Amino acid sequence: MSVTAVPLRPIAKGSLTRLWIGVGAVALAAAGLSWVGTQAVTPSPAAFLHRNADAPGVVTTESGLQYKVIREGEGASPKGSDVALVSYRGTLTDGTVFDQSEQAAMPIDGVVPGFSEALQLMKKGGEYQLFLPPHLAYGDKVPEGAPIPPNAVLIFDVKLLDFKSREEIMQMQQEMQQLQGAPVPGGAGE
């Protein structure tokens, strides 16, 4: 058996350097395209809100809250001292769902300012889409463990199911306790 020798040519001077420069240029181009792609998907809060303000049906309040009425409710609107029963879904501008509930009781003065402002605009049965700028949401003070980045715009789809005053809720609680035979706080015998 015979082996045929194949003559190898030496690598031209500087070829290896040019190869590494080419690999580096491709890596930089890929990183740049990746960065541009993320910027297009997640605009800055100010850019998002500026563009959203011109969307059909979006209203911007003096505070900067943006909302869109999906369905107007009926009757009176809740006050800041009331407790609202709401169905909601909270998302980030990229569509990530960070919270949702079919029925949540919320003291209107106990939620973030933008959510509180919006609830006081709504009527029972109303459905709104809310766009909370960071200063009306959590700003840079996000609750620990929350899947919300600092200074994020929060988007909520909200339905106001009902609302009651705190006095009505206290009275309902007392009536429930009386029906169950439990002692009523502040009642006789205490």
39-71 residue pLDDT tens: 555 679 999 999 999 999 999 999 999 999 999
Tens digit of each residue's pLDDT (9 = 90 or more) over 81-119:
999 999 999 999 999 999 999 999 999 999 999 999 999
The sign of the dihedral angle between the CA atoms of 138, 43, 48, 100 is negative
Residue 78's pLDDT band (boundaries 50, 70, 90)? Answer: very high
Q: Are 84 and 106 in contact (CB under 8 A)?
A: yes
Q: How far is CA 74 from the centre of its chain?
A: 27
pTM for this model (two decimals): 0.71
Residue 106: count other Cβ atoms within 10 Å of its Cβ: 18
What gap in Å lies between CA 138 and CA 103, rounded to an integer?
22
Residue 127's pLDDT band (boundaries 50, 70, 90)? Answer: very high
Classified as helix, coil or strand, 57 is coil
Q: Are 49 and 153 in contact (CB under 8 A)?
A: yes
Residue 145's pLDDT band (boundaries 50, 70, 90)? Answer: confident
Q: What is the mean pLDDT of residues 118-146?
A: 95
Q: Mean pLDDT for the chain? A: 87
Tens digit of each residue's pLDDT (9 = 90 or more) over 2-32:
666 666 666 666 666 777 787 778 778 887 7
45-171 sits in which CATH class?
alpha beta
What gap in Å lies between CA 97 and CA 95, rounded to an integer?
6
